Every structure is written in C-alpha cells, then in structure tokens.
Amino acid sequence: MIHKQTLIEATMAGAAIMKEYFDKQFTVTSKSSLNDLVTEVDHKSEAAIFEIIKKRFPNHYILSEESGPIVQESNYKWIIDPIDGTINYANGIPICCVSIGLERDGVMEMGAVYNPFLQEFFFAQRGFGATLNEKRIHVSDKDKLTQSCLVTGFPYTYLDAPNGPIQVFEKLVRKGIPVRRLGSAAIDLCWVACGRFDAFYEHKLQAWDSAAGFLIVEESGGKVTSLNGDTYNPYQPGIIASNGRIHEQLQHVVNGGEVE
C-alpha cells in the first residue's frame, strides 16, 4: 500500500509544479535535436517527484527522462517522465502530464498518469484494473479498423524509413481513417484505455513515455505489443496499443500491409 501511496503523491507533486509554472516565463533548451526540448519546469517537477520517492525508498532504482538511470541494487524501479508532452507544455498547450511507472523484478506493477489541466488522474495496478479519477475504465468495442479513431506520434528520426511513420499515416488517412497526434504518448495510451481512441501506435518511444500507460491499457482490457506483435517491453522502441479487437488489422498496416 505504501508503494501506491508514494506513487500517487509523487505524481501529484510533479503535477503541482507543472500547474505553478504553466503559461509563465521559464527557460527552454534543446537536447538531442532542435525540437527535443527540456524546460526548467521538467527539472523542477523531477526534483519534486524524486524528493518523495527517495524519502520513502532511498535504495530503489530510478530511471527518469531528465536524469537518466540512478542505478541501485533493488527489486524496484521507478520509471519517470516529469512532463510528458514538453513541447505542448512549453507552448501553453494543456495536453501534457506526469507519468510514473513502478516496476518490480522486471514486471510493471503500477502506473499513474496525471494531467492537472484536465484534472484527469489515470491509475492501474496489475491485476486490479484501471481507473480514471477512481472510476473503472474500459477500452472501446469497435472491431473494424476502418471505423476506428486512432492516435499516433511522430519521432524526430527515421521518418522516411520503410513502413515508417509517414507511410503508415498516409495509408490510414487516405482510407479516411482519422488519426490524431496529441503530442503526449502517455495521454494517448490513457485515452485508448478509456475508449476515446481505439488504438495508438508509434515507431519510437522511450521507456518513460509508455511505462505507466501501457499497463493502464492492459488493465482496462486492451492489448499492447511491439510493432511486430511480440509481448510489449517498454525498453524497445515500437508500440501498438489497442482495444484488442482491431489490433491485428492495425499491426498488418504498420508492418507494410494495406488497409483492408
């Protein structure tokens, strides 16, 4: 129970920092590329999250987007994105969140995603289902890809690779399938979990982008795999998360097939 309480408190602490600085002046710098941004608020949110986790569990392993791995011998690993959707946040777009997953012995046990601007708190614990603001959520029941509403993201590298993000996107939209691009993978996953989207796919994510969200999808009755259909592992780049009913249809397109 103390792990769950710590997860919730840490997520809330990071979100409080996001709210405090939203739409105000703060420094923004680039990391690996022009649009791979980090703000001083990312660091402040991360510090607030760290303070709570380290106070309760000083010996736990932590993997965070801004600080990288803080390696310790522990069965537990906290996987943290202090602001998922930094570009949105830096531009005053309130589609962004804190995302924290808790892994035990290599298995994701809990995940929390909180968007303080929409006041939506998603939570899942393995084997106990998923909730939005403490109410159970479930994936949609659509069974045809052509009648689905999808969401994706575009990485800043290998856009022109075979069956890459642009090609897959074009195939789908040319068939009239709506594909949204919100700019926060964690929110994308949560919105699949609660049935707003029928599936999410992306070619390149980091572990902190999906650690909490993929568990929330699974615990809401959805299916999550790698792009080729293998059991999902957040430490590899590609992901398909769906209501399960359209999973194979979308996987077929993502891997070079045509929309059927």
Q: Is 160 a catalytic residue?
A: no
Q: Which entry of 86, 131, 152, 225 is annotated as an active-site residue?
A: 86
Q: Which of 81, 109, 198, 218 is catalytic?
A: 81
Burial group, residue 260, by CB count within 10 angstroms (0-12, 13-18, 19+): exposed
Q: Which of 42, 46, 198, 209 is catalytic?
A: 209
Q: Which of 6, 17, 42, 65 is catalytic?
A: 65
86 is catalytic: yes
- Whole-angstrom distance, CA of residue 122 vs CA of residue 189: 10
Q: Is 7 exposed, middle or buried (0-12, 13-18, 19+ CB in 10 A)?
A: buried
Residue 69, both tokens: 């791995």
From the candidates 42, 46, 66, 84, give the one annotated as an active-site residue: 84
**260 in Cβ contact with 249 (< 8 Å):** yes
With CA atoms as reference, report the closest residue to 217 among 234, 236, 204, 235.
Answer: 234
For residue 209, indicate whether it is catalytic. yes
From the candidates 79, 80, 83, 177, which is the catalytic residue? Answer: 83
Catalytic status, residue 84: yes
Provide the H-helix boundaries in the chain. Answer: 2-21, 40-56, 86-90, 165-174, 185-193, 207-219, 247-254
Q: Are 18 and 98 in contact (CB under 8 A)?
A: yes
Catalytic residue numbers, as ranges: 65, 81, 83-84, 86, 209
